[in-house]
């Protein structure tokens, strides 16, 4: 599932590609994913509008339009934004925008958990389900140890599970939570409330750090597919992962002889090093 670095990478690529361009045509696949307010309404709100810029909030991509509407894409589990030019509509392609200069942008999603929403009053995040519950992002200045600590204090839940809550760590999912906990040297199955202030501080820094590194390397593309760049190429942060997807391999922390273990926590596959994460 795309997390903050993947969506941010797409935002940057799309911003360069479509800003200042007018949407001339909107096409839909045979059985498109859930759209708000339905395909006909989406088309009516997009046609003739110029993209002023592409933003992002958590894992949502937000196209700001000249008609005061916003087009919001949530990529779900396996959603992609691709560019197919004038080729015939592809399998699993749900929506294609054609711009006045002939460029296109397509939303593709094989597993169909993604969503397409157009706000009709220019106000965000209210009209888009899920967006109203997003906290600050760990890459923002507002995200402090005090903020994270307030969400962990007194909680019996595992720290890993809490990091997946978008109010606690907006934009963070399964990959970057495992990487941040490893970087901070904290076991994912610790009770959240048991973290000492110094550990909360390390975790705050680690969250921001892994997300920024993920953006720098254009996101994580695992072998089982899912996230790719707009031209179909892969990100490269997967080559720098310390624990995620590395079960049975040596821990990459300098001086650590541990072997990465995988365990289910809160229903999610979790990777950590039992030797250097306490």
- What's the min distance (Å) between Cβ of 182 and Zn ion? 7
Given the complex with Zn ion, which of 40 and 257 has the nearer CB atom? 257
Tokens coding 203: 């975790």
Quick one: DSSP state of residue 147?
H
Q: Which of 11, 56, 59, 187 is catalytic?
A: 59
Q: Is 69 a catalytic residue?
A: no
The 8 Å CB, 24+ separation contacts for 228-232 are 228/80, 228/82, 229/9, 229/10, 229/13, 230/10, 230/13, 230/14, 230/17, 230/81, 230/82, 230/83, 230/105, 231/82, 231/83, 232/82
For residue 258, give every residue at least 6 positions away whose Cβ sits within 8 Å of its Cβ, in sequence order, or none. Answer: 250, 251, 273, 274, 275, 276
84 touches 96 (CB < 8 A): yes
* Residue 185 binds Zn ion, judged by CB under 5 A: no
The site map against Zn ion for 107-146 (x = CB under 5 A) is ----------------------------------------
Burial 89-110 (b: 16+ CB within 10 A, else e): eeebbbbbbbbeeeebbbbbbe
- What's the min distance (Å) between Cβ of 274 and Zn ion? 8
Given the complex with Zn ion, which of 112 and 253 has the nearer CB atom? 253
* Residue 273 binds Zn ion, judged by CB under 5 A: yes
Dihedral in degrees, nearest 10, Cα atoms 125, 126, 128, 131:
50
Q: Is 167 a catalytic residue?
A: no
* Residue 275 binds Zn ion, judged by CB under 5 A: yes
Q: Is 3 a catalytic residue?
A: yes
Residues in the chain: 278
- What's the min distance (Å) between Cβ of 181 and Zn ion? 12
* Residue 82 binds Zn ion, judged by CB under 5 A: no
Given the complex with Zn ion, which of 206 and 215 has the nearer CB atom? 206
The site map against Zn ion for 235-254 (x = CB under 5 A) is ----------------x-x-
- What's the min distance (Å) between Cβ of 208 and Zn ion? 21
Q: Is 86 a catalytic residue?
A: no
Given the complex with Zn ion, which of 145 and 256 has the nearer CB atom? 256
* Residue 234 binds Zn ion, judged by CB under 5 A: no
* Residue 258 binds Zn ion, judged by CB under 5 A: yes
Measured CA to CA, the distance from residue 153 to residue 197 in angstroms comes to 10
Which parts of this chain interact with Zn ion (CB under 5 A)? 251, 253, 256, 258, 273, 275-276
């Amino acid at each position: 599932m795309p997390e903050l670095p993947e969506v941010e990478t797409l935002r940057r690529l799309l911003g360069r590609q479509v800003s200042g361009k007018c949407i001339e045509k909107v096409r839909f696949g045979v059985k498109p994913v859930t759209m708000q307010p339905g395909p006909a309404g989406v088309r009516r709100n997009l046609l003739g509008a110029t993209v002023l810029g592409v933003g992002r909030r958590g894992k949502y991509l937000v196209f700001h339009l000249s008609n005061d509407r916003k087009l919001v894409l949530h990529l779900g589990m396996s959603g992609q934004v691709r560019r197919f030019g004038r080729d015939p509509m592809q399998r699993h392609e749900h929506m294609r925008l054609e711009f006045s200069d002939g460029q296109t942008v397509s939303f593709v999603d094989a597993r169909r958990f993604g969503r397409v929403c157009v706000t009709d009053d220019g106000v965000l995040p209210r009209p888009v389900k899920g967006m109203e519950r997003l906290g600050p992002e760990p890459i923002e200045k507002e995200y402090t140890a005090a903020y994270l600590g307030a969400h962990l204090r007194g909680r019996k839940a595992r720290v890993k599970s809490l990091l997946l809550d978008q109010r606690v760590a907006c934009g963070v999912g399964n990959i970057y939570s495992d990487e941040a906990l490893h970087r901070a040297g904290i076991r994912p199955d610790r009770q959240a409330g048991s973290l000492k202030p110094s550990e909360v501080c390390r975790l705050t820094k680690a969250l921001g750090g892994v997300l920024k590194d993920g953006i720098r390397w254009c996101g994580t593309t695992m072998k089982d597919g899912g996230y790719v760049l707009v031209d179909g190429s892969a990100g490269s942060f997967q080559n720098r992962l310390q624990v995620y997807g590395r079960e049975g391999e040596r821990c990459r922390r300098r001086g650590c002889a541990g072997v990465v273990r995988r365990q289910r926590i809160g229903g999610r596959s979790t990777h950590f090093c039992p030797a250097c994460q306490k």
